[in-house]
Protein backbone atom coordinates (compact mmCIF):
# COMPACT_ATOMS: atom_id res chain seq x y z
CA UNK A 1 0.00 0.00 0.00
CA UNK A 2 1.39 3.46 -0.91
CA UNK A 3 1.31 6.38 1.54
CA UNK A 4 -1.12 8.36 -0.65
CA UNK A 5 -3.76 5.64 -0.28
CA UNK A 6 -4.00 6.49 3.41
CA UNK A 7 -5.41 9.94 2.56
CA UNK A 8 -9.18 9.56 2.23
CA UNK A 9 -10.55 10.79 -1.10
CA UNK A 10 -13.09 13.61 -1.53
CA UNK A 11 -16.61 12.90 -0.24
CA UNK A 12 -19.66 14.20 -2.11
CA UNK A 13 -22.91 14.76 -0.22
CA UNK A 14 -26.27 15.51 -1.81
CA UNK A 15 -28.55 17.72 0.27
CA UNK A 16 -32.13 18.83 -0.42
CA UNK A 17 -34.02 22.11 -0.09
CA UNK A 18 -36.96 22.48 2.28
CA UNK A 19 -40.42 23.97 2.27
CA UNK A 20 -42.36 24.83 5.43
CA UNK A 21 -45.81 23.21 5.17
CA UNK A 22 -46.79 25.19 8.24
CA UNK A 23 -44.81 28.06 9.74
CA UNK A 24 -46.38 29.52 12.88
CA UNK A 25 -44.34 32.37 14.31
CA UNK A 26 -44.69 33.02 18.04
CA UNK A 27 -43.34 35.83 20.20
CA UNK A 28 -39.88 37.37 19.84
CA UNK A 29 -37.56 35.86 22.46
CA UNK A 30 -34.91 37.72 24.43
CA UNK A 31 -32.17 36.17 22.26
CA UNK A 32 -33.59 37.78 19.09
CA UNK A 33 -35.21 34.59 17.75
CA UNK A 34 -38.93 33.83 17.49
CA UNK A 35 -40.54 30.73 18.96
CA UNK A 36 -41.73 28.59 16.08
CA UNK A 37 -44.07 25.72 15.44
CA UNK A 38 -43.23 24.55 11.96
CA UNK A 39 -43.52 21.46 9.80
CA UNK A 40 -40.66 21.07 7.37
CA UNK A 41 -40.65 18.91 4.25
CA UNK A 42 -37.43 18.14 2.36
CA UNK A 43 -37.97 18.44 -1.41
CA UNK A 44 -35.95 17.17 -4.34
CA UNK A 45 -33.98 20.27 -5.33
CA UNK A 46 -30.37 19.61 -4.44
CA UNK A 47 -26.97 21.09 -3.76
CA UNK A 48 -24.01 18.73 -4.11
CA UNK A 49 -21.23 19.46 -1.65
CA UNK A 50 -17.78 17.89 -2.01
CA UNK A 51 -15.37 18.02 0.92
CA UNK A 52 -11.70 17.17 0.47
CA UNK A 53 -8.52 17.34 2.52
CA UNK A 54 -6.55 20.50 1.60
CA UNK A 55 -3.54 22.51 2.73
CA UNK A 56 -5.72 25.51 3.69
CA UNK A 57 -9.40 26.12 4.37
CA UNK A 58 -11.31 27.11 1.26
CA UNK A 59 -14.65 27.11 -0.53
CA UNK A 60 -15.78 27.29 -4.14
CA UNK A 61 -19.28 27.60 -5.57
CA UNK A 62 -20.49 26.55 -9.03
CA UNK A 63 -23.70 26.03 -10.97
CA UNK A 64 -26.30 28.27 -12.61
CA UNK A 65 -27.56 29.48 -9.21
CA UNK A 66 -24.14 30.32 -7.73
CA UNK A 67 -24.53 34.13 -7.96
CA UNK A 68 -24.74 35.83 -4.57
CA UNK A 69 -23.21 33.00 -2.58
CA UNK A 70 -20.21 34.16 -0.51
CA UNK A 71 -16.89 32.47 -1.27
CA UNK A 72 -15.18 33.63 1.92
CA UNK A 73 -15.41 32.80 5.62
CA UNK A 74 -19.13 33.77 5.62
CA UNK A 75 -20.04 30.77 3.50
CA UNK A 76 -22.18 28.47 5.63
CA UNK A 77 -20.59 25.31 4.22
CA UNK A 78 -17.13 26.54 5.20
CA UNK A 79 -18.37 27.80 8.58
CA UNK A 80 -19.79 24.35 9.27
CA UNK A 81 -16.48 22.70 8.34
CA UNK A 82 -14.49 24.95 10.66
CA UNK A 83 -16.93 24.53 13.53
CA UNK A 84 -16.76 20.75 13.22
CA UNK A 85 -12.95 20.94 13.20
CA UNK A 86 -13.05 23.05 16.38
CA UNK A 87 -15.34 20.57 18.12
CA UNK A 88 -13.63 17.39 16.93
CA UNK A 89 -10.30 16.60 15.28
CA UNK A 90 -9.99 17.59 11.65
CA UNK A 91 -7.48 19.30 9.40
CA UNK A 92 -8.09 21.99 6.77
CA UNK A 93 -10.58 21.08 4.06
CA UNK A 94 -11.90 22.46 0.80
CA UNK A 95 -15.68 22.69 0.46
CA UNK A 96 -16.93 22.64 -3.14
CA UNK A 97 -20.59 23.55 -3.56
CA UNK A 98 -22.66 22.93 -6.68
CA UNK A 99 -25.84 25.01 -6.22
CA UNK A 100 -29.17 23.64 -7.37
CA UNK A 101 -31.14 25.34 -4.57
CA UNK A 102 -32.25 28.95 -5.14
CA UNK A 103 -30.17 31.41 -3.08
CA UNK A 104 -31.88 33.53 -0.39
CA UNK A 105 -35.16 32.01 -1.58
CA UNK A 106 -36.63 30.69 1.67
CA UNK A 107 -35.57 27.14 0.79
CA UNK A 108 -32.63 26.94 3.22
CA UNK A 109 -29.87 26.55 0.62
CA UNK A 110 -27.12 27.89 2.88
CA UNK A 111 -28.31 25.74 5.76
CA UNK A 112 -28.36 22.76 3.41
CA UNK A 113 -24.69 23.32 2.54
CA UNK A 114 -23.82 23.50 6.23
CA UNK A 115 -25.62 20.22 6.88
CA UNK A 116 -23.90 18.60 3.89
CA UNK A 117 -20.45 19.75 5.01
CA UNK A 118 -21.03 18.20 8.45
CA UNK A 119 -22.15 14.87 6.99
CA UNK A 120 -19.30 14.82 4.46
CA UNK A 121 -16.57 15.70 6.96
CA UNK A 122 -17.91 13.20 9.48
CA UNK A 123 -17.07 10.60 6.84
CA UNK A 124 -13.83 12.19 5.54
CA UNK A 125 -12.42 12.51 9.05
CA UNK A 126 -13.92 9.18 10.17
CA UNK A 127 -15.53 10.83 13.22
CA UNK A 128 -18.39 8.32 13.50
CA UNK A 129 -20.84 10.91 14.85
CA UNK A 130 -24.44 9.82 15.34
CA UNK A 131 -27.47 11.80 14.16
CA UNK A 132 -27.93 13.56 17.53
CA UNK A 133 -24.29 14.68 17.66
CA UNK A 134 -24.46 16.02 14.09
CA UNK A 135 -27.73 17.85 14.81
CA UNK A 136 -26.24 19.47 17.93
CA UNK A 137 -23.41 21.04 15.91
CA UNK A 138 -25.93 21.84 13.15
CA UNK A 139 -28.11 23.86 15.55
CA UNK A 140 -25.18 26.17 16.30
CA UNK A 141 -24.98 27.06 12.62
CA UNK A 142 -28.62 27.97 12.05
CA UNK A 143 -32.16 27.19 13.14
CA UNK A 144 -33.04 24.99 10.20
CA UNK A 145 -29.66 23.28 9.69
CA UNK A 146 -30.58 20.23 11.88
CA UNK A 147 -33.59 19.54 9.65
CA UNK A 148 -31.41 19.39 6.54
CA UNK A 149 -29.31 16.70 8.24
CA UNK A 150 -32.38 14.51 8.80
CA UNK A 151 -34.75 15.47 5.94
CA UNK A 152 -38.12 13.76 5.39
CA UNK A 153 -41.05 15.52 7.05
CA UNK A 154 -40.56 16.77 10.62
CA UNK A 155 -41.88 19.20 13.17
CA UNK A 156 -39.60 21.99 14.34
CA UNK A 157 -40.05 23.78 17.65
CA UNK A 158 -37.92 26.12 19.78
CA UNK A 159 -36.42 28.43 17.16
CA UNK A 160 -36.93 25.63 14.61
CA UNK A 161 -33.94 23.51 15.63
CA UNK A 162 -35.76 21.01 17.90
CA UNK A 163 -37.07 18.24 15.68
CA UNK A 164 -39.76 15.62 16.14
CA UNK A 165 -40.82 13.07 13.54
CA UNK A 166 -44.10 13.44 11.66
CA UNK A 167 -45.92 10.53 10.07
CA UNK A 168 -46.41 11.54 6.43
CA UNK A 169 -47.68 9.12 3.80
CA UNK A 170 -47.21 9.40 0.07
CA UNK A 171 -45.32 11.77 -2.16
CA UNK A 172 -46.29 15.38 -2.78
CA UNK A 173 -45.59 17.25 -6.00
CA UNK A 174 -44.47 20.86 -5.94
CA UNK A 175 -43.82 23.65 -8.40
CA UNK A 176 -41.56 26.43 -7.11
CA UNK A 177 -41.84 29.90 -8.61
CA UNK A 178 -38.45 31.62 -8.31
CA UNK A 179 -38.34 35.38 -7.87
CA UNK A 180 -35.85 37.96 -9.03
CA UNK A 181 -33.44 38.57 -6.11
CA UNK A 182 -33.67 37.16 -2.61
CA UNK A 183 -35.20 38.25 0.69
CA UNK A 184 -33.22 38.54 3.93
CA UNK A 185 -34.55 36.21 6.63
CA UNK A 186 -33.97 38.69 9.55
CA UNK A 187 -35.66 41.47 7.56
CA UNK A 188 -38.73 39.31 6.92
CA UNK A 189 -38.99 38.40 10.63
CA UNK A 190 -38.62 42.11 11.50
CA UNK A 191 -41.37 43.02 9.03
CA UNK A 192 -43.59 40.33 10.60
CA UNK A 193 -43.03 41.98 14.02
CA UNK A 194 -43.81 45.39 12.56
CA UNK A 195 -47.07 44.19 11.00
CA UNK A 196 -48.11 42.51 14.28
CA UNK A 197 -47.08 45.38 16.60
CA UNK A 198 -49.69 45.99 19.27
CA UNK A 199 -51.22 42.51 19.01
CA UNK A 200 -50.75 39.73 21.55
CA UNK A 201 -48.88 36.88 19.84
CA UNK A 202 -49.63 33.47 21.39
CA UNK A 203 -47.16 30.60 21.76
CA UNK A 204 -47.49 28.65 18.50
CA UNK A 205 -48.88 25.11 18.45
CA UNK A 206 -48.73 22.85 15.38
CA UNK A 207 -52.16 22.27 13.87
CA UNK A 208 -53.61 18.75 14.39
CA UNK A 209 -55.51 19.08 11.09
CA UNK A 210 -52.18 19.35 9.22
CA UNK A 211 -50.87 16.19 10.91
CA UNK A 212 -54.11 14.38 10.01
CA UNK A 213 -53.84 15.57 6.40
CA UNK A 214 -50.25 14.28 6.14
CA UNK A 215 -51.38 10.84 7.33
CA UNK A 216 -53.80 10.57 4.39
CA UNK A 217 -51.14 11.10 1.73
CA UNK A 218 -53.75 13.04 -0.27
CA UNK A 219 -52.60 16.42 -1.64
CA UNK A 220 -56.24 17.62 -1.67
CA UNK A 221 -56.29 17.15 2.12
CA UNK A 222 -52.92 18.88 2.57
CA UNK A 223 -53.71 21.87 0.32
CA UNK A 224 -56.03 23.79 2.70
CA UNK A 225 -53.59 23.26 5.61
CA UNK A 226 -50.56 25.04 4.07
CA UNK A 227 -49.91 28.17 6.09
CA UNK A 228 -47.09 30.63 6.73
CA UNK A 229 -47.15 33.49 9.25
CA UNK A 230 -44.24 35.11 7.39
CA UNK A 231 -46.27 35.33 4.17
CA UNK A 232 -47.86 38.76 4.88
CA UNK A 233 -44.40 40.11 5.72
CA UNK A 234 -42.83 38.70 2.54
CA UNK A 235 -45.68 40.14 0.44
CA UNK A 236 -45.40 43.47 2.25
CA UNK A 237 -41.70 43.63 1.27
CA UNK A 238 -42.32 42.21 -2.21
CA UNK A 239 -45.94 43.02 -3.29
CA UNK A 240 -45.58 41.26 -6.66
CA UNK A 241 -45.57 37.90 -4.82
CA UNK A 242 -49.35 38.31 -4.46
CA UNK A 243 -49.61 38.34 -8.25
CA UNK A 244 -47.53 35.14 -8.50
CA UNK A 245 -49.77 33.40 -5.95
CA UNK A 246 -52.88 34.44 -7.89
CA UNK A 247 -51.39 33.24 -11.20
CA UNK A 248 -50.49 29.82 -9.79
CA UNK A 249 -54.00 29.29 -8.44
CA UNK A 250 -55.53 30.42 -11.73
CA UNK A 251 -53.35 27.89 -13.61
CA UNK A 252 -54.45 24.94 -11.51
CA UNK A 253 -52.40 24.69 -8.28
CA UNK A 254 -54.19 23.09 -5.33
CA UNK A 255 -52.58 25.66 -3.03
CA UNK A 256 -49.77 28.18 -2.98
CA UNK A 257 -47.70 29.48 -0.08
CA UNK A 258 -44.59 31.59 0.36
CA UNK A 259 -41.71 29.20 1.12
CA UNK A 260 -40.26 30.12 4.54
CA UNK A 261 -39.09 33.72 4.48
CA UNK A 262 -39.57 33.84 0.68
CA UNK A 263 -39.52 35.05 -1.99
CA UNK A 264 -39.90 31.59 -3.60
CA UNK A 265 -43.55 30.53 -3.86
CA UNK A 266 -44.35 26.83 -3.37
CA UNK A 267 -47.35 25.51 -5.30
CA UNK A 268 -48.78 22.11 -4.36
CA UNK A 269 -50.17 20.20 -7.34
CA UNK A 270 -52.15 16.97 -7.74
CA UNK A 271 -49.47 14.88 -9.46
CA UNK A 272 -46.41 15.00 -11.69
CA UNK A 273 -48.41 15.82 -14.86
CA UNK A 274 -50.21 18.69 -13.14
CA UNK A 275 -46.79 19.97 -12.10
CA UNK A 276 -45.55 20.00 -15.70
CA UNK A 277 -48.70 21.84 -16.83
CA UNK A 278 -48.38 24.46 -14.08
CA UNK A 279 -44.67 24.98 -14.70
CA UNK A 280 -45.33 25.54 -18.42
CA UNK A 281 -48.23 27.93 -17.76
CA UNK A 282 -46.29 29.99 -15.19
CA UNK A 283 -43.27 30.24 -17.45
CA UNK A 284 -45.39 31.28 -20.45
CA UNK A 285 -47.25 33.89 -18.38
CA UNK A 286 -44.04 35.84 -17.78
CA UNK A 287 -45.11 36.44 -14.15
CA UNK A 288 -42.21 34.44 -12.69
CA UNK A 289 -38.48 34.54 -13.38
CA UNK A 290 -38.06 30.78 -13.43
CA UNK A 291 -39.71 27.60 -12.12
CA UNK A 292 -38.52 24.31 -10.64
CA UNK A 293 -40.46 21.09 -10.07
CA UNK A 294 -39.71 18.73 -7.19
CA UNK A 295 -41.33 16.01 -5.10
CA UNK A 296 -41.13 15.48 -1.36
CA UNK A 297 -40.43 14.16 1.15
CA UNK A 298 -36.86 13.12 0.35
CA UNK A 299 -33.90 12.12 2.54
CA UNK A 300 -31.65 14.69 4.21
CA UNK A 301 -27.91 15.14 3.55
CA UNK A 302 -26.44 11.83 2.37
CA UNK A 303 -23.13 10.69 0.91
CA UNK A 304 -23.42 9.88 -2.79
CA UNK A 305 -19.76 9.37 -3.64
CA UNK A 306 -16.34 8.92 -2.08
CA UNK A 307 -13.36 8.74 -4.36
CA UNK A 308 -10.79 6.17 -3.36
CA UNK A 309 -7.48 8.08 -3.62
C1 LIG B 1 -37.51 31.36 7.97
C2 LIG B 1 -36.94 29.96 8.08
C3 LIG B 1 -38.13 28.99 8.15
O4 LIG B 1 -37.71 27.66 8.17
O5 LIG B 1 -36.12 29.55 7.00
P6 LIG B 1 -35.72 30.31 5.61
O7 LIG B 1 -37.01 30.55 4.92
O8 LIG B 1 -34.99 31.56 5.94
O9 LIG B 1 -34.89 29.31 4.86
C10 LIG B 1 -36.07 29.80 9.34
O11 LIG B 1 -36.77 30.19 10.51
C12 LIG B 1 -34.77 30.57 9.26
O13 LIG B 1 -33.78 29.73 9.72
P14 LIG B 1 -32.23 30.05 9.45
O15 LIG B 1 -32.06 30.54 8.04
O16 LIG B 1 -31.46 28.85 9.90
O17 LIG B 1 -32.02 31.29 10.34
P18 LIG B 1 -30.92 31.60 11.49
O19 LIG B 1 -29.60 31.68 10.83
O20 LIG B 1 -31.10 30.67 12.64
O21 LIG B 1 -31.39 33.04 11.95
C22 LIG B 1 -31.25 34.17 11.12
C23 LIG B 1 -32.11 35.28 11.68
O24 LIG B 1 -33.49 35.02 11.44
C25 LIG B 1 -34.29 35.42 12.53
N26 LIG B 1 -34.95 34.24 13.13
C27 LIG B 1 -34.59 32.98 12.77
C28 LIG B 1 -35.23 31.88 13.34
C29 LIG B 1 -36.23 32.13 14.32
N30 LIG B 1 -36.87 31.11 14.90
N31 LIG B 1 -36.56 33.39 14.66
C32 LIG B 1 -35.94 34.46 14.08
O33 LIG B 1 -36.27 35.60 14.40
C34 LIG B 1 -33.33 36.10 13.51
O35 LIG B 1 -33.33 37.47 13.19
C36 LIG B 1 -31.99 35.46 13.18
O37 LIG B 1 -30.91 36.29 13.53
N1 LIG C 1 -23.53 28.10 1.06
C2 LIG C 1 -24.40 29.11 0.93
N3 LIG C 1 -25.39 29.03 0.03
C4 LIG C 1 -26.29 30.05 -0.07
N5 LIG C 1 -26.25 31.19 0.64
C6 LIG C 1 -25.28 31.30 1.55
C7 LIG C 1 -24.34 30.28 1.73
N8 LIG C 1 -23.52 30.65 2.71
C9 LIG C 1 -23.93 31.86 3.12
N10 LIG C 1 -24.98 32.28 2.42
C11 LIG C 1 -25.70 33.56 2.64
O12 LIG C 1 -26.96 33.25 3.24
C13 LIG C 1 -27.99 34.04 2.67
C14 LIG C 1 -29.29 33.26 2.73
O15 LIG C 1 -29.19 32.21 1.82
P16 LIG C 1 -30.13 30.91 1.77
O17 LIG C 1 -29.78 29.99 2.88
O18 LIG C 1 -30.00 30.38 0.38
O19 LIG C 1 -31.56 31.54 1.92
P20 LIG C 1 -32.79 31.38 2.91
O21 LIG C 1 -32.29 31.71 4.29
O22 LIG C 1 -33.77 32.35 2.38
O23 LIG C 1 -33.26 29.97 2.79
C24 LIG C 1 -27.50 34.36 1.25
O25 LIG C 1 -27.97 35.59 0.82
C26 LIG C 1 -25.99 34.34 1.37
O27 LIG C 1 -25.49 35.64 1.57
Please tell me whether residues 195 and 82 are part of one structural domain: no
In contact, 48 and 14? CB cutoff 8 Å: yes
What is the distance in A from the centroid of ligand 1 to the CA of 29? 13
CATH of the domain at 178: 3.30.70.890
What is the distance in A from the centroid of ligand 1 to the CA of 20? 12
Q: What is the mean predicted confidence (pLDDT) over 8-12? A: 93
Residue-number span of the structural domain to which 54 is assigned: 3-166+298-306
Please tell me whether residues 162 and 195 are part of one structural domain: no
Please say whether the dihedral angle defined by the alpha carbons of residues 142, 146, 152 and 158, taken in this order, is positive or negative.
negative
Whether 160 lines ligand 1, by a CB cut-off of 6 Å, is yes
Please tell me whether residues 271 and 149 are part of one structural domain: no
Please say whether the dihedral angle defined by the alpha carbons of residues 146, 152, 157 and 162, taken in this order, is positive or negative.
negative
pLDDT at residue 31 in the model: 97
Each residue of 162-185: pLDDT tens digit?
Answer: 999 999 999 999 999 999 999 999
Each residue of 250-286: pLDDT tens digit?
Answer: 999 999 999 999 999 999 999 999 999 999 999 999 9
Whether 2 has a pLDDT exceeding 70, the answer reads: no
Please tell me whether residues 157 and 12 are part of one structural domain: yes
Please tell me whether residues 94 and 231 are part of one structural domain: no
Q: Ligand 2 pocket check: which of 42, 72, 78, 109 to mutate, most ligand atoms within 8 Å of Cβ?
A: 109
CATH of the domain at 85: 3.30.230.10
Whether 104 lines ligand 2, by a CB cut-off of 6 Å, is yes
Binding site for ATP, by residue number, is 102-112
Cα 276 from Cα 218, distance rounded (Å): 19
Cα 143 from Cα 115, distance rounded (Å): 11
Cα 251 from Cα 239, distance rounded (Å): 20
Binding site, by residue number, is 102-112
* Closest atom of ligand 2 to CA, residue 103: 18
Q: Check residue 149 and give left, alpha or beta (phi > 0: left; psi -120 to 50: alpha).
A: alpha
Whether 111 lines ligand 2, by a CB cut-off of 6 Å, is yes
pLDDT at residue 306 in the model: 86
Please tell me whether residues 99 and 237 are part of one structural domain: no
What is the distance in A from the centroid of ligand 1 to the CA of 204? 16
Please tell me whether residues 218 and 288 are part of one structural domain: yes
Whether 182 lines ligand 2, by a CB cut-off of 6 Å, is yes
Burial of 140 (0-12, 13-18, 19+ CB in 10 A): middle
- pTM for this prediction: 0.96
Whether 51 has a pLDDT exceeding 60, the answer reads: yes
Q: Indicate the number of domains in the chain.
A: 2
DSSP 236: H
Residues labelled catalytic: 18, 144
CA atoms within 13 A on the CB side of 91: 8
Whether 75 lines ligand 2, by a CB cut-off of 6 Å, is yes
Amino acid sequence: MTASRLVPGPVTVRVPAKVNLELLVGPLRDDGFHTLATVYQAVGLYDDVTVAAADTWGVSVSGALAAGVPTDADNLGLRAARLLADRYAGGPAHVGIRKGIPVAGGMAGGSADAAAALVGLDQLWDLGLDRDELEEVAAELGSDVPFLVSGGTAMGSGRGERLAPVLARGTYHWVFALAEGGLSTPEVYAECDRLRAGTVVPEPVATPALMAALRTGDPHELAPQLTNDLQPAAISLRPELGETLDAGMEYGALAGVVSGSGPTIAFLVENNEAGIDLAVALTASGVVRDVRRAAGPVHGAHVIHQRAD
